[in-house]
Structure 1
Amino acid sequence: MLPTNTDSPAAKKPKKSIAIVNEVEISFEDPIHTGREILKEAEIKHPECVDLYQLFPSGDFERISLDEKVDFSKSGVEKFITKEVEFRNYTVDGQQETTDQKKLTADRILKLAGIDPEHHFLILVKNDNTKVSYARKGDEEIKITCPPMQFLTGKKDTVCDFEQCCHSGTIPVISYRYVIKINSEKYTVDEKEMTGRQILALIGQTPESYYLRFKHKGGSTIVGADEVIDFTKCGVERFSAKAKNCTEGRVNQRDFSLPEEDADFLKKLNLSWDSFSEGSRWLILRDYALPIGYNVEKCDVAIAIPANYPIEQLDMFYMYPNLVRADRQVIGALSPQIIEGKQYQRWSRHRTPQNQWVPGEDNLATHLELMIHSLREEFTKR
């Protein structure tokens, strides 16, 4: 039998190099590695955010830079620890800056970058590319974190005309002031975000007495009192404000007209109603009287009006507030639907093949008859 050649390449196995980083054991096939490679192997997500130190049996230690090489061919297990970096990097308008401070005010960041806070303001670009403005917040402290933060600057004399941006198809930029249009008047505001209540305050009104809608390409949507409108988002063109009540009665929204027979029908019933576009065309019947047996006596009823109605049928109905049976029995085939910024309750009730929609015979009146029938029939099912 021939002796085994222990010197052959097949018989030799590479010696693994062992290291411990923050009490976590890692290993390498190759004997030489950079500080960056060591941190990566130790699953340090952002190597630039920590300093790496090599510990020696004597108790001494040495800082290892990211590109510095460490020889693992020596005997023994190499030990390392990491510490949070002392200096943090960030950029202002693409220019790198460095600080040893963990917090800086917005104005201080501008000054360190050689930018005058009297004429500029700071904008933080977050990891998801959303932006935070520090206009009029120059004294607010910002925690300087790693990986490097990104800042932009804006000029305080910049004014963004909200309506003009949307009409031109331009995404509004973060500005120091914004021009918004309410009804036919323009107003200059200092904040990039405002609530419905704050917007109404510009015309001396409140949500308790006025409706506020924002107009957009898809139609219009009611703005809640505490709902926040971001002026830097594209889509909102202008605002309209109308009184909920006045000496001559409630002012109703009329974005589209109903057929004459439907309008006459609602007039005879003395019903208040609104029509507006919000993705779909909606008819809202205000304070519609309900059959007995529900948690409320009246509610707002929404009906989707197809573009080619009355040729195309009306289908289903939507209630606000949500209806509950007084006896607490479950109502079937219900689902939520957001209309005019509120959660309506969709009742999925449809015509049968024996009761199909007939143009010229069926209209809003017959649809409401089916609705009332469905509301009453609910109590005979269960």
Structure 2
Amino acid sequence: MNMTIEHHDPYRDKKITIEIAGIDLNFRAFQLDTKTPTGGKIAKAFGFNLDQPAYVMQWRDDGDLEDLRVQEEADLANGTKFIVAEADSTNRIRVEGEGFDWPSDTITGAVVRKLGRIPAERGIYLERTDEPDRPIEDLDVVKIKTQGVEQFRSRKPEVWELNVQGKKIASLTPVISVVDALTRAGFDPNAWIIILKVAGQPKRQLQVGDDIDLRTPGIEKVRLTAKDVNNGEAHAPSRDFRLLEVDEFYLDGLGLHWETRTSDGHRWIIIRDYPVPDGYTARSTMLALMVPSVYPQAEIDMFYAYPPLQRSTGAAIPATEATQFVAGFPFQRWSRHRGSIAPWNPRQDNVVTHLALVESALLKEVGE
């Protein structure tokens, strides 16, 4: 009968795993050969040498932070997480009413959230006495070396609203960038003159790099004016690509300013001051047609209008809800397509015949 003799390693039972983090509270696992590590041994495991002023704290399971001196043994029954920082003192803060001694002159919102075990859906605020409490984002860095004790509280975040060209957008922070505000409202920030209207104050033009403080009393709205609207006489029309000869001859005969533009990977014909029939709130519009790269073999489909066309009666126009940016302008897309009875024929269809489709579609919506 064979017998296996196991040799007991007296040191194996002494191996323990603890977690150590810097002041970012990103913990990593470290294995030590003792169940009673000292503060100095924990700092050494984290990479500190004897010449560095290591400040070691035990993050207890009950949420408290407890200093651990160099020669002091940690009681792992209270927790196996430790914080090591290059510091020789701490600053006092309070998070959700609980006091902490923090081994740094700064602290991030993310660390405050972890210390206070604050859920992600709640906002963090730095309490202030003579001014509104300051909202703290996770990436914000707060200086905490002050005469008093900085206090952090959490609450359901406030929602700030801003009217951008008639569309209301919500912000969880009281300061929003112009770029963010216009982008969320569906506008290209670089294509507009941006005006901020505040009650009781002169209108103020904003730049793309500006911020808007939504706490400003009397903020009413942001109004936009296109940078590029004119009567077509100030500059020569763009010709980014050529059309068929019959197309160009017809467009020239309309007596309207037209151009071909390449925008966001698409080819466009843009016709300014294109007349629309009675029954709309506008007498004309800027019309855009998307021209496929293999036109006329591929058909021109749908058409686009800026500003959006509306019936005089106020009734909604079906299949015009989508928006397409063309050269920085938000065009209203009219989803109108050829039927199976008269499909696109590259030998006879062109811009001329498609404009006939546009005209009939516009007339149909106002009952003519």
Calculate the TM-score normalised by the size of structure 2.
Answer: 0.45
Normalised TM-score (structure 1):
0.44
